Structure 1
Amino acid sequence: MKYQEAVKYYEKKKYSKALILFDELMSKYRGQSEAEDLYYYTAYTSYRLRDYTSARFNFKNFATTYPNSPRAEECRFMSAYCFYQDSPRFSLDQENTKKAIDELQLFINLYPDGEKAKEAGDLIQKLRDKLEQKAYANARLYFDMGQPDDYRAAVIAFESMLREYPDTRYAEEIEFLIVKAQYLFAQNSMPYRQEARYNEAIDYYQSFIDHYPQSKFKSDADNLRSSAEKEIAFVVKRMDAINKMREEQQKELGISKEEAEAKETSEVNSSSK
């Protein structure tokens, strides 16, 4: 009998041959009592062949078609697990990772006391760790690119990550990198913007020290704060000298204070640094 032949192929791990026969039998027995076993074997055969797209489709169809079957819970889990198996390494697009989390959470919602509920929860945590690693890598890339605007983008990305993953294992390092990125952003800014941006770096430093007073990054953070304070003093002195020189030039050229302020406002608005 073709069914028995297909099962033998499956048991001997000749999955490609088994799948051909199971597909033929599915067409023949669709809607009949034999179809339940065929659906089950077809799903697992696709899974063994690592065709996770077909496998998750077949597992889900089994659970939907036979909701009262003792195998329904198992197949619902396997459908979600196929998404997990299709989740790529963190450096690639994580769309399947997000889908896997959704499917595993749906399984837990449907079977909160099921024997696979804990395993599903553990898998969700692994997937979230991967998304967290992806977010860290993306934010770190901005920082490592080393361009002035990239430092500001790094600050924004790191802050976004802390909001999304407040318990991240990278939290201490991220808060330090925010201080450093903001300092470097200030350092590469136009002089008239530096004071405010260095002060922002000091604010980030204070938040970092409040959260991690004994941090392994404390010495480096202290140096950044000290340097920022010195830079502020230098910038203030420099800007005072520049403003004084500008006022003298304007007086010599007969430019009124109002005209000078209007021109300065226009220059500030047109600059992004």
Structure 2
Amino acid sequence: MRAKRFLVATAMIVLTFSSLFLSSCSSSKIATNSGGDTAERYAAALADYNKKDYDDAALTLEALMFSVRGSALEDDVLFYLAQSYFNTKQYLLSAEMYSRLLQLNAGSPYTPTAQFQLAKSHEKLSSHYEFDHEHTKKAIQQYALYIEQYPGRDSAVVAADIQTYQELLKINPANANYQDQLAVLKLESERSGSLSYAKNAIKTFRDKLARNKVSIAHQYIQLGKPKGAVIFYDEVIRFYPDTIYLEAAWKGKVDALILRKKWMEAGQALDQYLQLYPEKQDQMKGSRDKIMQNFGNS
């Protein structure tokens, strides 16, 4: 009986190892096959992308991520996967893929576009001025980095060079050097447009952050807490002097200091305000009179 059980157990062990061996061989074969058709699958994904079938492209590219690791196709897969996410409004995922591409290969031909698109992904995630501004700040940082790394030439100079080569090609349309130079200049012109966009975006987002501070300061005034309001007005004055909310911050600070009956500080703030905005002299006459009257009596 014991011998019979031993034979059965032995048979089961042999079957188990045979199954594992066959499974291993099968897995190895699948891996080999998947490696063999990587280029074809990438081409299919790119075809889907070019047809704007971004969801299908993303599915294929996601499956390729690990098989192309360390290969010449790795940055291609990451870039078009990021683009597919961006075009389907999955901005957190697109930001992650652009970041991964930038960390992976700083010399990739996709790097300038990836840096710009990373900033734009954070721009899309930027919330209303009253809410959290994590992505607003990240968008500013990434656009600033794009401008720093790819400054480019003045757009007017580039446009003049394009016109020059277009005229030269009218004279000698078969000149390959002229054709190449014109193609390079057109790419540079496109880059100039993205630089202009980045600069405008930074200004817009800095205005948004300043507006957030002014809004919080106003809330403190409404709550009868002018001391808290002064803190946020000062943040705008100190950190966002280039924004459209600087004037509101200075005036708000003067009014808040008057509410606190800090007459000397209010007078100093009013002097600074009027140095920046002398056209407001008449408008602020009432505040000046109130400060002088109470300062003299204090």
- Is TM (by shorter chain) over 0.5? yes
Q: Which moved more, 1:64-73 or 1:41-50?
A: 64-73
Aligned equivalents of 1:23, 1:182: Cα separation in 2: 58
Cα deviation, 1:207-247, whole Å, max 9, x if unaligned, reads 333433321x733x3223323444456x66xxxxxxxxxxx
Q: How big is the shift at 1:121?
A: 2.4
1:125 aligns with 2:200: no
**2:277 corresponds to:** 212
Identify if the C-alpha distance between structure 1 residues 175 and 105 changes in structure 2 by more than 3 Å, giving closer, same or farther.
Answer: closer
Contact 2:258 2:266 in 1 (8 A): yes
Aligned residues: 220
Aligned equivalents of 2:115, 2:265: Cα separation in 1: 51
**2:288 corresponds to:** 225
Cα deviation, 1:66-125, whole Å, max 9, x if unaligned, reads 433322221222122212222212111112211222222222222222724333222222
**2:145 corresponds to:** 106
Aligned equivalents of 2:73, 2:248: Cα separation in 1: 58
Q: How big is the shift at 1:4?
A: 4.3
Aligned equivalents of 2:102, 2:271: Cα separation in 1: 54
**2:114 corresponds to:** 75
> What amino acid is aligned across from residue 125 of structure 1 in structure 2?
K
TM-score of the pair, normalised by structure 2: 0.64
Identify if the C-alpha distance between structure 1 residues 168 and 35 changes in structure 2 by more than 3 Å, giving closer, same or farther.
Answer: closer
Cα deviation, 1:34-84, whole Å, max 9, x if unaligned, reads 434322221111111222222122223233434333222212221222122
Residue aligned with 1:214, SS = helix
Identify if the C-alpha distance between structure 1 residues 9 and 229 changes in structure 2 by more than 3 Å, giving closer, same or farther.
Answer: same
Give identity over the alignment, percent: 26
Aligned pairs for 1:52-201 within 5 A: 52-113=91-152, 115=191, 116-145=194-223, 147=224, 150-186=225-261, 197-201=262-266
Moved over 6 A (4+): none
Contact 2:257 2:265 in 1 (8 A): yes
Q: Which runs of 5+ in 2 are unaligned?
A: 1-39, 153-187
Cα deviation, 1:109-166, whole Å, max 9, x if unaligned, reads 2222272433322222222121121122122222232x1xx11222232133212122
Aligned equivalents of 1:231, 1:157: Cα separation in 2: 25
Identify if the C-alpha distance between structure 1 residues 81 and 198 changes in structure 2 by more than 3 Å, giving closer, same or farther.
Answer: same
Identify if the C-alpha distance between structure 1 residues 231 and 74 changes in structure 2 by more than 3 Å, giving closer, same or farther.
Answer: closer
Contact 2:263 2:291 in 1 (8 A): yes
Aligned equivalents of 1:198, 1:65: Cα separation in 2: 58
RMSD across aligned C-alpha pairs, in angstroms? Answer: 2.7
Q: How big is the shift at 1:204?
A: 3.2
Contact 1:201 1:225 in 2 (8 A): no
**2:88 corresponds to:** 49
**1:6 corresponds to:** 45
Identify if the C-alpha distance between structure 1 residues 103 and 167 changes in structure 2 by more than 3 Å, giving closer, same or farther.
Answer: closer
Contact 2:206 2:243 in 1 (8 A): no
Contact 2:236 2:245 in 1 (8 A): no
Q: How big is the shift at 1:203?
A: 3.6
> What amino acid is aligned across from residue 170 of structure 1 in structure 2?
Y
Aligned equivalents of 2:248, 2:148: Cα separation in 1: 35
Residue aligned with 2:57, SS = helix
Q: Which runs of 5+ in 1 are unaligned?
A: 187-196, 237-273
